[in-house]
Amino acid sequence: MSEVNAPRQKVIFLPPGGGRRYDMGGMQSIFFADEAETGAEYSISEWRLEPQTEGSGPHAHETEDDIFFVLEGVTTFWLDGKRQDAPAGSFIRVPAGVTHDFANLTDAPTRFLNLYIPGGFERDMPAIVDWFAKNPPAKG
């Protein structure tokens, strides 16, 4: 096994509540696997938005794909300028270069799983948390 593939050869088991949590006001993320465990090939995280909470703001990734799977509630996505309400069970793939955003416009919590390919997004999380501390997401 090469050094590069070594992280991917290890089983990851996290009990309920495990992972690395990042709080951003009405939005939280929990990273389950990222570059340290995946050789930077992908990262997996869960995102939770309280009712009436804006998300990250419109953005695009130069070379990374974003994959979302809604676990609970209804998450509203803006995908290349078009609004799409995504109830639990919805799957969304946003290819590199496509502007996207998400929010919870409902009165109930929403949660979604995010797969980010390739990995490394978690490197930005401390700066993102700091930005949201200074610029809290808008509520309803």
Q: CA dist 18 to 29, 33, 58, Å? A: 12, 11, 29
The encoded tokens of residue 96 equal 């590199």
Q: What is the pTM of this model?
A: 0.88
Going by C-alpha positions, the residue among 104, 120, 107, 115 that lies closest to residue 28 is: 104
- Give the model confidence (pLDDT) of 1-55 as tens digits: 455 567 677 899 999 999 999 999 899 999 999 888 898 899 999 999 999 999 8
Please give the domain boundaries of the chain with CATH numbers for all domains: 20-134 (2.60.120.10)
